[in-house]
Structure formats: C-alpha cells, structure tokens
Amino acid sequence: MNPNYQAVSHTIDTPLATNKVIRNTYMLLSMTLLFSALTAGVAVAFNMPFFGPLVTLGGYFGLLFLTQKFSNSSLGLLFVFALTGFMGLTLGPLINAYLGLPNGGQVVMTAMGGTGAIFIGLSAYALTTRKDFSFLGGFLAVGVLVAFLAGLGAVFLGMPMLSLAVSAMFILLMSGLILWQTSELVHGGETNYILATVTLYISIYNLFTSLLHILGVFSSDD
C-alpha cells in the first residue's frame, strides 16, 4: 500500500487522466500476471524445490524496495517484472506440492477460479459504484502486519490451526486491499500505475495462496 507515491508531478484532477492511470494499471497487471504464470509454469515443469522462507522474504522485500524506489522511472517496470517473476518461481513448488495430492488438480483450479472471481467482482464493484474506500487504509495496514507476524509464528512454531486462521484473515484483508487500491485509482489518490499494479498483484497472489491452503486442508479432510 503506497498512497503517498506519485507517478507524475502534478495532481490528477480530470477523468481522462484518472482513466489513463487505471488503464495503464490493468494493462501492466495483466502482463505481470502472465509473466508470473510463465515463471510458475517453468518452476512446475522443472520441479523446482521450495526456496525457503529467508530466500523468499529476502527476494520479495528486496525487489519490492527496488520497485518502489524506481517507480517513477523506466527501471520501475524492470523491477516490477523481476518481482512478479520471482514470486511466480516461488509459487511453482507450492503448486507442485498440491498437484501431488489426491484431487490436487481440482484444488488448484478451484483456487484459481475463486481468486479470479473475487478480484473481478470486487474491482468491478469499486469501479462501477465509485465508492470511496480510503477509510480502509489504516485498518488494512495494521491487519496485514498482524496477519504477517501471525503467519511467521505459525510457520516457525508449527501451529497448523493458526496457519489456517491466518489464511482466512488474508482472504479478507486482500479483498479489502483490492477495494481500497481500486478506489484510490478511481478517486485519484494513487497516480502511480506501477505501485498500483504491485499492490493489486500482491493481493491476487495472497488471495490465491490463501485459498489454496484452505481448500487443500478441507480437501484432505474429505
């Protein structure tokens, strides 16, 4: 969430300028999702191992920092593809793990379909109603921090029920983040399409992995 970053030096105050930022955001988001799917497919095809939490978090936060730092230049585009491509590589081993389970293919496809339905539905709602969801910003920032720390605790302490609860929290938080970021685009609160793309991509990524986790747990209980 980066509402204070600006992609241009002037304030967006016309529908035409706002629509251009929205159009550029969704175009870049589509391209990064395709690129991420490609790198995930490569990781699945070559049966790449998990990177581990330290490498994953280090790569994620490092590339996220570089993307934000150069978001006002062409280098920002390079780093946003590096970030989403890296996240695709981390997703590949996870998908492979679920594909090896009974009904794993169905679980993966259901998670993908659910993620797409949630994103499209919430985005369409925010775009068509033009409601202002800026009030969610502070709550989402605190919620994501709490969920992230709880997730780390669940991993290192081996608490599967806490991990399941964190996945449910992330589904709610990422849904709110999609509404918030789309609202910021509509109302001119976010003028940097690179940063908006990163926020929406991260929302989609976390939605998918959280749905995958929950569906996988309930599927294994059948």
Encode pLDDT of 74-129 as tens digits.
999 999 999 999 999 999 999 999 998 888 899 999 999 999 999 999 999 999 99
- How far is residue 23's CA from residue 201's CA, in Å, rounded to a whole number? 15
In the structure encoding, which two tokens stand for residue 145, read together?
A: 């921090």
Encode pLDDT of 115-169 as tens digits.
Answer: 999 999 999 999 999 999 999 989 999 999 999 898 888 878 878 888 899 999 9
Residues with Cβ within 8 Å of residue 99, at least 6 apart in sequence: 44, 105, 108
Greatest CA separation for the chain: 56
The residue extents of the domains of the chain are: 15-220
Contacts of 176 (CB under 8 A, 6+ apart): 133, 136, 139, 140, 143
Q: Provide the pLDDT for residue 90.
A: 94
3-class SS at 75?
Answer: helix
222 pLDDT higher than 90: no
Q: What is the pLDDT of residue 151?
A: 85
pLDDT digits (tens, 9 = 90+) for 9-57: 334 446 666 788 999 999 999 999 999 999 999 999 999 999 988 899 8
